[in-house]
Structure 1
Amino acid sequence: MGSSIAVSAQELTFAMEPSYPPFETTNAKGEIIGFDVDVANAICQEIQVTCKFKSETFDSLIPSLKAKRFDAAISAIDITDARAKQVLFSDAYYDSSASYVALKGKATLESAKNIGVQNGTTFQQYTVAETKQYSPKSYASLQNAILDLKSGRIDIILGDTAVLSDMISKEPEIQFIGEKVTNKKIFW
């Protein structure tokens, strides 16, 4: 969780990118729900304030937090040195890892040429820095990358292991390929 200001109000507004289950998603009533919402609600209960939740694109969370458009951001944000220079973080509450997915029987890590990653994520950073064999394509959301994967515009996706696991449970034609990536310089 990232924060840029101290809070002394009766209400605390958290921003998140709600297309990232199980961390955050929108239910049929339009409410943001998920693991990060549960964490935020526990924080609000502990400090005796009311939680409010605001939808924001992932790549605008830190710039908007710095501009004080909300009080805190909580959206499976990996802590990096660059981000920690911009905003304050809580202690890590989730051990992040990355994984690759592809359509079943369509691509391997060796045969893939095009990779999809979400804008502003450590997965995008890792892909650019460490995977020169792929041509990266950035997406506003993981769901957009999934659509391009299904239509053959990209071969593989790199993303958060827990999020991709949730996605695979709903998209049986997609599978994990290769090993988890646990580079502590990038994912922590």
Structure 2
Amino acid sequence: MTASTTRRSTAAHTRLAAVGAIAVAGALLLTGCGDQTKNDGSGNGSTAASAPLADKLPQAIRDAGVIKVGSDIAYAPVEFKDSSGKTVGIDPDLADAMGKQLGVKFDFENGTFDTLITGLRSKRYDIAMSAMTDTKDRQEGIDSDTGKKVGEGVDFVDYFTAGVSIYTPKGKDQGIKTWADLCGKKLVVQRGTVSEDLAKAESKKCAGGKTIALQSFDNDQQAQTRLRAGGADAGSSDFPVAAYAVKTSGGGNDFQIVGEQVEAAPYGIAVAKSNTQLRDAIQAALDAIIKNGEYGKIIQKWGVDAGAVTSAAVNGGK
């Protein structure tokens, strides 16, 4: 796992998930004599009235009309491709709502999860929004495996709370209820996630010469495919993602969640530490949609009310 790039967290933290949704349209086009419109990046215009927080953005982003978002778009239901190839999920829905406040379009670009922070550092992306757990290691640029500093770190605007779950083939839990029960078993996870962190930490505690045989993949769908094919005993991912897989894979006949979710922690939108103006604009937009009720509608739409936040904290992870 690379420096503080767990999907969701370090060994002591998590990534949990949520549920998918079709991204909504860009800011409304308001016309009228004397109106000064701004490009929202989608071919439409938005006035100050329809984008009340536009002036909080850095001028370069206002001029471009777009916030470039790095995201691992293979983590249903947080962000994934629907049958038509469109990017959907809770993150795109929230981004669309925030975009209306800011007068810009959030343009999601697919990337492998453990490269998103690197892409943020290189300015390929303006933000990373991908069910990424806000942790101190990530904030400080610390590699969670080695404990060494590998970068300046990032700031987070926290927008959801989630924890990690274990799931098994349906009807074949092999007595697995806790992380300790995975000793001597084969576990599939997505590379760079809190699930991978937790598995590595737990494997070191296993007694009697046993370990957890860990198989890490580029995305969660690959891990699920391996488990579905009988190549492992269990899988682990954020609770909403695990719950979504249990509900949808094989019509609900492939998997089951075992035990309780652990290590609940905040998901954060990652922003470069040098870009405080963008960070503060994102925070203001998130607070605005929480207050106007749009956030709650999106959270309720995907049945993840338990993970809702009541305000947009910055760097609330531990």
Shift of 1:44: 1.7
Residues 34-113 of structure 1: pairs in structure 2 closer than 5 A: 34-85=89-140, 86-90=153-157, 92-106=158-172, 107-109=174-176, 110=181, 113=185
The residue that corresponds to 2:191 in the other structure is 119
Q: Which of residues 254, 266, 279 is equivalent to 1:173?
A: 254
Aligned-residue RMSD, C-alpha: 1.9
- Paired AA for residue 135 in structure 1: A
The residue that corresponds to 2:279 in the other structure is none
Moved more, 35-44 or 160-169: 35-44
Shift of 1:173: 2.0
What is the CA–CA distance in structure 2 between the aligned matches of 1:184 and 1:24, rounded to whole Å? Answer: 18
- Paired AA for residue 179 in structure 1: E
Shift of 1:28: 2.5
Q: Give the conservation status (yes or no) of the 8 Å contact 1:104–1:173.
A: yes
Q: Which of residues 234, 238, 247 is equivalent to 1:160?
A: 238
- Structure 2-normalised TM-score? 0.53
* Aligned residues between the structures: 180
Shift of 1:14: 0.9
Cα deviation, 1:117-163, whole Å, max 9, x if unaligned, reads: 11111221121123444221111111111111122221111110001
The residue that corresponds to 1:145 in the other structure is 223
Q: Give the conservation status (yes or no) of the 8 Å contact 1:14–1:40.
A: no
Shift of 1:182: 2.5
Moved more, 123-132 or 153-162: 123-132
Q: Give the conservation status (yes or no) of the 8 Å contact 1:7–1:71.
A: no
The residue that corresponds to 1:3 in the other structure is none
Q: Give the conservation status (yes or no) of the 8 Å contact 2:161–2:265.
A: no
Shift of 1:7: 4.0
What is the CA–CA distance in structure 2 between the aligned matches of 1:179 and 1:152, rounded to whole Å? Answer: 23
Q: Give the conservation status (yes or no) of the 8 Å contact 1:16–1:58.
A: yes
Q: Which has the larger radius of gyration?
A: 2
Larger relative strand fraction? 1
Shift of 1:55: 0.7
What is the CA–CA distance in structure 1 between the aligned matches of 2:175 and 2:220, rounded to whole Å? Answer: 19
